[in-house]
Structure 1
Amino acid sequence: MKIEVRIIEAKDLKVTDYFAGTSDPYIKLSINGQMHKTNVVYRTCDPKFNQSFTFDIIPGQQITFEVFSFDESGRHDPLGTVQHSLSYFYQGQVSDLWLQLSKKGQIHIQVFSPGGLPNVLSAEQLNSLHLGINQKQMTTQSPLIGYKYFGYTPSFNELM
């Protein structure tokens, strides 16, 4: 299933440049090894990002947001982290959230999952167990064969 995560803004972030009273924040997003990063917004503790990222997920996974302050001279300063479960997002709906960071500040995000049929397993995730190869479970028989030989009317997509 695909979701789109939009990082809108952050507010009240921790100051890392005490001389200027600001930070140079950016956000790393990760879900089960898939990682994206926003652009750095310089000299502010209330950045506006307005960036969107797409992830392939299985419902119930956690998304992790790590906020850093960019530092040209060395290690980037951590400003806070937050994790959020993706089990309550519905297809075709936008979830608008403010998430509290572990240190100081909040981030404003929107999560959107396009409508339609869920695509839980993508082709790269399928293996022989999913496909039933070498287990004699695959059949290529047409459903009309039962009609031809046994005399019953075929029915497709009927609700019980």
Structure 2
Amino acid sequence: MPESQGTYLRALLPCRRRRKPRRPAPIGTQQIVDVVVGESKKELPPAGESEQMSSLPGGFLSVRVLRGINLVSCDAKGSDPYVVLSLDGQKLKTSVIKKTVNPVWNEDLTLAVMDASAPIKLEVFDKDTFSKDDMMGDAEFDIEALVQIIQMDLEDIRSGTVVRTVRPGGKDCCLADESHIIWDKDQVVQDLLLKLRNVNTGVVHLQLKWVTIPG
């Protein structure tokens, strides 16, 4: 992360105090299943018990926007899609990919997160030159399950182990498929496939990582 961006993001972080987090379910009703494969098994925090979760560890959320799948076509020649992420006044966007409904971005966006249960909004737009950009769908997600796993000591678990699986459920859920949280090369990584709302088709593939601030 560039030093200037790190300094800006640090300025967004207030002094943390222990408090009871809110209980919205921005990605809809979901089932969380602990799946720890390998020789070592950990006592994981109870799924969905956010009251037992301590304050967020010092750091930032890195969201890798990987690709879009079967997005809506806004023009005869296709769409020029880009993604916008919004949280607590922060708004970050990817580059525009020209004339495709299956864009590959593979770009990292970094957010300062104060509350793991707060919904992070994702929107997809079609870039227009002479008119307002067209909406291509939206979705929401949170990082409660990811943060619970980050707080565990996983050092003796084999790399590549699926530590927790979040399953979609309910009509308001934005998950298109199971979301696996994996211990991979000394990092906790979560893959998300989000189905876009307010459109007939479209999925966005994300990868989440928590970036710890040294010291």
1:41 paired with 2:97, answer yes
Structure-1-length-normalised TM-score: 0.68
5+ long unaligned stretches in structure 2: 1-58, 151-186
The residue number in structure 2 matching 1:105 is: 202
The residue number in structure 2 matching 1:73 is: 130
CA contact (8 A) 2:146 2:190 kept: yes
Q: Residues 24, 116 of structure 1: CA spacing in aligned structure 2 closer, same or farther, 3 A cutoff?
A: closer
Q: What amino acid does structure 1 have at the position aligned with 2:138? A: T
The count of corresponding residues between Structure 1 and Structure 2 is 116
Q: Identify which of 111, 121, 129 aligns with 1:64.
A: 121
By how many angstroms is 1:13 displaced?
0.5
Q: What amino acid does structure 1 have at the position aligned with 2:203? A: Q
Rounded Cα–Cα distance in structure 1 between residues aligned with 2:110 and 2:208: 10
Rounded Cα–Cα distance in structure 1 between residues aligned with 2:101 and 2:132: 19
Structure-2-length-normalised TM-score: 0.51
Rounded Cα–Cα distance in structure 2 between residues aligned with 1:68 and 1:85: 21
Rounded Cα–Cα distance in structure 2 between residues aligned with 1:63 and 1:15: 25
The residue number in structure 2 matching 1:23 is: 79
Q: Identify which of 93, 101, 125 aligns with 2:188.
A: 93
Q: Which has the higher contact order (CA 8 A, sep 6+)?
A: 2
By how many angstroms is 1:89 displaced?
1.1
Rounded Cα–Cα distance in structure 1 between residues aligned with 2:113 and 2:213: 15
By how many angstroms is 1:68 displaced?
0.4
CA contact (8 A) 2:60 2:212 kept: no
Rounded Cα–Cα distance in structure 2 between residues aligned with 1:115 and 1:39: 26
1:11 paired with 2:108, answer no
Describe how 1:109-120 pairs up with structure 2 within 5 A.
Answer: 109-114=206-211
Q: Could you tell which deviates more after superposition, 62-71 or 89-98?
A: 89-98
SS across alignment from 1:89 = helix
SS across alignment from 2:211 = coil
Kindly report the root-mean-square deviation, in angstroms, between the aligned alpha carbons of the 2 structures: 1.8
**Greater gyration radius:** 1
Q: Identify which of 125, 130, 140 aligns with 1:83.
A: 140
Q: Deviations over 1:111-139 (max 9, x none)?
A: 1013589x9xxxxxxxxxxxxxxxxxxxx
